[in-house]
């Protein structure tokens, strides 16, 4: 070990006194300084602007992540390492061959193993200087960012160093292949480039995909940069480094021995085989350990989702991916995307449940009626579905025989109701649930969708059933029109809809049917025709029995709902609320969400708590709303959920004309002005040994497909559904808030720091290196 250390020390001294090494250090420092200083200055400038214009501004969490990882210092440095390592390692072995010192080394009582390990240790020591450069900026960041995330920085530094060592091992081996340093540098660059992008090659074939993904270097380092230490990745870097160091030892030994070619190649193959076996075994989920170093545990699923997974015990969860050759989402479902997208999606789950079985089914099918025969219109008349699928497969350079026909698929499963989109089916103890994908930038299901599917599998008895009354032209849960309710209720392509967050959703025509026995909540949304006596009586009976209900009305149709609401001691007042504003027509009213609303759902409560001081509420948009009155002697306890801003609205009697000048307040015509009007009311009472829950809102447009995304409409609406379903769904998941929100630097101080880091310190570093090299040359 003493000899190895001496060789390493001499190698480090040579690199330290090398002009090339100093050039690399200076360039790397300048690059790091530019990345860090510009990120700090931009953040400090924005922070100062916000504080001047919003005195209560408390910053935005995640500064450590944003400045160092997300397109920041570490990420860019990792991408550029291939520019530095070939220059540093090109002379590790070849330099001795050119100078003649190799013969002296080999004739001395020093073994090849000691030489190779000594030289590798020397470059590893020099790598610490590059890491030290980043540590320097980490220390500055620790003093600059309040509540900096130290765990994230340390994990990122570890990942950077491990990648450096792996690259250096490659450079060491390439240096042993040629006595020409330029060729060694070029070879190192090519190998690093190949191992960087090999993870995207030949991904269609299972065996090759697993092998190439294992060999991909940068796929492994990004988890470490993000603050997630995985034993599989640590072992991988050690294995790759050891493999190339072993190759170097085999190469040098082969030069001194006269052996058959197959013996020499056998050694290489043996080292590679042992490395692959170690890498494969260490990558098994049951043998893998994870450690999330971040302060917010951003790489770890929530405790609630962990508890659901824990509830599955040792029973196997079977996941089947169905990908349609002619459907949406095919690209993400192809084998080429399996490692980077699909398995990456499931890895946080596999961390807590390694016994998940994955199956993949590829097929072709099309619903001509639902798609208006659009697929057939693209191709010449008479083309069969099989012929169209064959053309599509050929365009993908694929074989149609790999895809099941519609007839074959119908024997397994009918996916017509899923629109033949890319979908996953979960199977657990005989129960099945779909986990869907969505036509938005994220595409894959989020944690809320996972939690809903898992809970439905584990606790089917707790699944809430929401029924929407139909028959009197109520808002439809099947139509996609602007006034309808499809997007938040039954839309399978909406990740936040009821059906994707855990609910069963259906309609009931009370003129022909009774309220189903499993009904958790009944929704009566803006009927446009007078309710028949039969419908009214069934509704009254349902309420008398203690059923939960959600009423949504509209101005001009108060007479439709009021006969039913009278039973609750509630009435929709005649007229329409007016809210004058500079930007909008006066029918657009923005009621605020009261503190009582925060008790509907923990997610809404957390949003209310996170509001900056001075902004104690959030608002909804109700484009056409009336006021709600409530009798104090009602058997129901009433709480206000939505109310208009004090002094900003009045209730206009008669018709409101919005395409003309603002109508004035006219008490003589019956207009009413109050400090505030109620537009959302919560009613509760104890009946039949259970808590009855009812919500009444005097507008339905805020829940429509057109208006759902406005302001906080969706947040309030889904909180109401959660409360009506006894908060079983959506599954609330806690998050640890990021505390690194503010910089300690002003804009002017950040500007000065930028000058020092980008110009002064690199200049001093360059001067120190020049003086050192000149003094060494004189000696």
Backbone angles phi, psi at 778, to 5 degrees: -65, -35
Strand pairing category for 678-687 and 690-697: antiparallel
Q: Are residues 233 and 323 in the same domain?
A: no
* Same-domain check for residues 50 and 124: yes
As a whole number of angstroms, the distance between CA 154 and CA 294 comes to 10
Does 479 fall in a domain? no
Do 284 and 375 fall into the same domain? no
Number of neighbours of residue 610 by Cβ within 10 angstroms: 9
Question: For residue 666, how many other CB atoms are within 10 A of its CB?
Answer: 12
Give dist(CA 37, CA 754) in Å, integer: 5
One DSSP character per residue, 443-497 reads -S--HHHHHHHHHHHH-GGG--EEEEE-SSSPPPSS--STTS-GGGTT-TT-TTS
H/E element, 544:
helix 533-544
The answer to the question of residue 734 being in a domain is no
Same domain assignment for residues 279 and 327: no
243 and 331, same domain (yes or no):
no
Q: Answer for the pair 503, 493: CB distance below 8 angstroms, yes or no.
A: no
pLDDT of residue 137: 94
Together in a domain, 242 and 333: no
Q: E strands within 149-295?
A: 228-230, 290-292
* Tokens 């030489």 belong to residue: 115
Closest C-alpha to 324, from 412, 422, 393, 418: 422
The pLDDT value given to residue 779: 64
Tally of domains within the chain: 3
Asked if 496 and 511 touch (Cβ cutoff 8 Å), the reply is: no
pLDDT of residue 96: 62
pLDDT at 19: 82
* Pair 591, 619: CB distance under 8 Å: yes
- Is residue 474, in this structure, part of any structural domain at all? no
Among residues 649, 681, 705, which one ends one of the domains? 705
Last residue of a domain, one of 448, 476, 501: 448
- Same domain? 290 vs 317: no
Q: Are residues 566 and 630 in the same domain?
A: yes
Q: Is residue 453 part of a domain?
A: no
Q: Would residue 114 count as lying in a domain?
A: yes
pLDDT of residue 165: 93
Residues 116 and 175 both lie in one domain: yes
Would residue 256 count as lying in a domain?
Answer: yes
The β-bridge partners of 508 are: 469
- Label the pairing between strands 465-469 and 504-508: parallel
Give dist(CA 589, CA 656) in Å, integer. Answer: 13
pLDDT for residue 278: 87
* Six-digit token string for 301: 């699923």
Per-residue buried b or exposed e for 532-568, using 16+ beta carbons within 10 Å of the residue's own CB:
eeebeebbeebbeeebbbbbbbbbebbebbeebbeeb
Phi, psi of 757 (to 5 degrees): -70, -40
Residues 284 and 307 grouped into a single domain: no
The low-confidence residues of the chain, meaning pLDDT below 50, are 104
> Do residue 428 and residue 535 come from a single domain?
no
Helix axes of 19-53 and 81-89: crossing angle, nearest 10 degrees: 160
Alpha carbons 723 and 719: distance in angstroms, whole number: 6
The predicted pLDDT at position 532 comes to: 94
Residue 13 confidence (pLDDT): 80
Per-residue pLDDT, 192: 86
- Asked, for residue 721, whether it belongs to a domain, the answer is no
Domain range for 387 is 303-448
Q: Against a cut of 0.85, is the pTM above it?
A: yes
Residues 307 and 290 in one domain: no
Q: Exposed/middle/buried for 779, CB within 10 Å: 0-12, 13-18, 19+?
A: exposed
Judge residue 314's burial from the number of C-beta atoms within 10 Å of its C-beta, 0-12 exposed, 13-18 middle, 19 or more buried: exposed
Exposed e or buried b for every residue in 425-456, given b needs 16+ CB within 10 A? bbbbeeeebbbbbbeeeebbbebbbbbbbbbb
What does the pLDDT read at residue 533?
A: 94
Assigned domain for 733 exists: no
Which residue among 705, 729, 762 closes a domain?
Answer: 705
Phi, psi (degrees; rounded to nearest 5) at 521: -150, 140
Please give the Cα distance from 288 to 156 (Å, whole number).
20
Between CA 95 and CA 80 the distance in angstroms is: 25
Bond from prior residue into 2 cis (ω within 30 degrees of 0): no
């Amino acid at each position: 070990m003493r000899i190895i250390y001496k060789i390493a020390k001499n190698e480090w001294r040579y690199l330290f006194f090398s002009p090339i090494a100093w050039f690399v250090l200076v360039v790397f420092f300048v690059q790091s300084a530019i990345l860090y200083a510009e990120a700090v200055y931009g953040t400090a400038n924005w922070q100062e602007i916000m504080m001047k214009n919003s005195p209560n501004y408390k910053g935005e969490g995640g500064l450590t992540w944003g400045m160092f990882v997300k397109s920041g210092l570490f990420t860019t440095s990792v991408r550029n390492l291939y520019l530095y390592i070939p220059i540093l390692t090109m002379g590790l072995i070849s330099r001795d061959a050119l100078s003649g010192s190799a013969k002296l080394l080999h004739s001395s009582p020093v073994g090849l193993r000691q030489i190779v390990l000594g030289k590798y240790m020397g470059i590893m020591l020099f790598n610490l200087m590059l890491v030290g450069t980043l540590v320097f900026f980490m220390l500055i960041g620790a003093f600059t960012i309040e509540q900096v995330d130290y765990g994230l920085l340390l994990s990122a530094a570890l990942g950077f160093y491990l990648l450096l060592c792996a690259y250096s091992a490659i450079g060491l081996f390439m240096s042993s292949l040629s006595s020409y340093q330029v060729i060694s540098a070029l070879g190192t660059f090519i190998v690093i480039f190949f191992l960087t992008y090999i993870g995207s090659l030949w991904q269609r074939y299972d065996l090759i995909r697993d092998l190439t993904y294992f060999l991909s270097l940068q796929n492994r380092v990004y988890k470490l940069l993000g603050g997630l230490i995985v034993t599989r990745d640590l072992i991988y870097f050690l294995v790759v480094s050891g493999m190339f160091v072993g190759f170097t030892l085999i190469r040098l030994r082969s030069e001194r021995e006269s052996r058959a070619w197959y013996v020499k190649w056998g050694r290489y193959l043996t080292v590679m085989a042992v490395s692959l076996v170690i890498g494969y075994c260490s990558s098994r989920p049951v043998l893998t350990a994870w450690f999330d170093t971040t302060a917010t545990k951003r790489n770890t699923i929530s405790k609630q989702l962990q508890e659901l997974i824990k509830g599955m015990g040792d029973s196997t969860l079977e996941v089947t991916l169905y990908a349609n050759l002619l459907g949406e989402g095919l690209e993400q479902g192809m084998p080429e995307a399996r490692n980077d997208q699909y398995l990456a999606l499931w890895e946080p789950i596999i961390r807590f449940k390694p016994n998940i079985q994955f199956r993949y089914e590829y097929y072709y099918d099309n619903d001509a009626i639902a798609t208006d025969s659009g697929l057939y219109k693209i191709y010449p008349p008479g083309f069969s579905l099989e012929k169209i699928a064959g053309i599509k497969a050929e365009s993908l350079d694929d074989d149609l025989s790999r895809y099941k026909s519609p007839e074959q698929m119908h024997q397994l499963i009918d996916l017509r109701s899923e629109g033949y989109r890319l979908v996953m089916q979960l199977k657990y103890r005989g129960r099945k649930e779909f986990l869907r994908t969505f036509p938005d930038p994220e595409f894959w299901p989020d944690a809320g969708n996972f939690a809903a599917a898992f809970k439905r599998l584990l606790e089917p008895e707790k699944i809430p059933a929401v029924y929407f009354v139909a028959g009197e032209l109520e808002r439809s849960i099947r139509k996609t029109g602007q006034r309808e309710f499809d997007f938040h209720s039954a839309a399978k392509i909406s990740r936040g809809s009821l059906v994707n967050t855990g609910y069963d959703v259906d309609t009931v025509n009370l003129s022909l049917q009774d309220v189903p026995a499993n009904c958790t909540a009944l929704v009566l949304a803006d009927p446009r025709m007078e309710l028949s006596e039969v419908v009214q009586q069934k509704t009254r009976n349902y309420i008398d029995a203690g059923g939960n209900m959600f009423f949504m009305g509209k101005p001009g149709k108060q007479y439709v709902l009021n006969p039913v609401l009278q039973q609750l001691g509630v009435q929709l007042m005649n007229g329409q609320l007016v809210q004058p504003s500079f930007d909008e027509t006066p029918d657009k009213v923005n009621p605020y969400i009261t503190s009582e609303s925060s008790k509907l759902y923990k997610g809404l409560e957390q949003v209310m708590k996170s509001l900056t001081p001075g902004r104690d509420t959030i608002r909804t948009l109700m484009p056409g709303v009336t006021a709600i009155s409530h009798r104090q002697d009602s058997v129901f306890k009433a709480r206000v959920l939505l109310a208009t801003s004090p002094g900003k609205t009045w209730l206009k009697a008669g018709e409101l004309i919005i395409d003309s000048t603002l109508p004035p307040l006219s008490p003589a015509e019956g207009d009413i002005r109050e400090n505030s009007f109620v537009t959302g009311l919560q009613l509760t009472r104890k009946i039949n040994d259970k808590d009855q829950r009812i919500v009444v809102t005097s507008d339905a447009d805020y829940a429509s497909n057109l208006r759902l995304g406005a302001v906080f409409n969706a947040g309030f609406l889904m909180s109401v559904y959660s409360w009506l379903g006894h908060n079983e769904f959506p599954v609330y998941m806690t998050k640890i808030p990021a505390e690194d929100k503010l910089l300690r630097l002003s804009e002017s101080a950040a500007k000065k720091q930028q000058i020092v880091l980008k110009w002064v310190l690199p200049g001093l570093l360059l001067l120190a290196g020049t003086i050192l090299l000149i003094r060494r040359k004189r000696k």
